[in-house]
Amino acid sequence: MSVTKETEILEEISKIAIREQNRIKEKIGTMAQNLGMPDVAKSLNVDLLSEAKIKAEIFVETVKRRIRNAQPQKSFTNEVFLIMQIGDPQLDGIWTNVYVPVIQDFKLKPRRIDKHNEGRFLMSEVADMLNKSKIIIADLTNARPNCYLEVGYTYGIEKHSHLILSAREDHNPNSPNHKKDGPKIHFDISGYDILFWDENKLNDFKIELAKKIKYRLTVVEK
């Protein structure tokens, strides 16, 4: 993949992040209006949309430099890096009860940025983990902008064969539980193979996740 194509992918991913942050901002405004406090949203100290745009631009520029300067990495650590929303109780449970035990069954080490960082600039640490990890799992539940940015980086460094995509099943537009205005898998990613999970069927999710990891290992260890 050329640097030009990689840049196009990353810029498109950054647009997704900005759109998602804008959606959150609009929800805050709607909630404030419904509560009879229309000035609440205006009084927020942080402009969420501007902040998202700045972060996206910084990340994309960082990635561009890394792509230009990076040498193809041929060996990887025995680690699996999880891209996912941090601080969500449901996802924390999925991490503990599904991702960690399934990954460890393959004698691999599960890694998450909030649990395994070294105290350096987080964007840089995320990039390092994505570069060196043997497998990358991106749980796109709740459509967090940073998660899409990190997926974009993964494609940019040509590690698509190392990547497993997952999300809660209500993010699937074909699910009866999908809500029109709820979180979803964005169209840029929707054409890829995504493993959807149901909290009431986690054993099934474990089985399918194990199959995905096993297959990815056969590909990356050739």
Q: Which residue has the higher pLDDT, 150 or 49?
A: 150
Q: Total structural domains in the chain?
A: 2
Domain that holds residue 61: 3-69
Residues 52 and 25 sit within 8 Å (Cβ to Cβ) = no
Tell me, rounded to whole angstroms, the distance of Cα 131 from its chain centroid: 15
pLDDT tens sequence across 48-86: 445 555 555 556 566 555 555 555 455 678 999 999 999
One domain for residues 43 and 147 = no
Q: Please state the φ and ψ torsions of residue 78, each to the nearest 5 degrees.
A: -85, 45
Q: Which residue has the higher pLDDT, 71 or 146?
A: 146
What pLDDT sits at residue 185?
Answer: 82
One domain for residues 160 and 196 = yes
pLDDT tens sequence across 155-188: 888 898 999 999 999 998 888 888 888 888 876 6
Cα dihedral 164→193→207→81 (10° resolution): 10
* Count of Cβ atoms closer than 10 Å to residue 79 Cβ: 17
Amino acid sitting at position 83: I
Gap between the Cα atoms of 4 and 123, Å rounded = 22
One domain for residues 52 and 96 = no
One domain for residues 125 and 210 = yes
What pLDDT sits at residue 133?
Answer: 93
pTM for the structure as a whole: 0.68
* Residues 94-104: b if buried by 16+ CB within 10 A, e if exposed: bbeebbbebbe
Write out the two tokens for 156: 């940019």
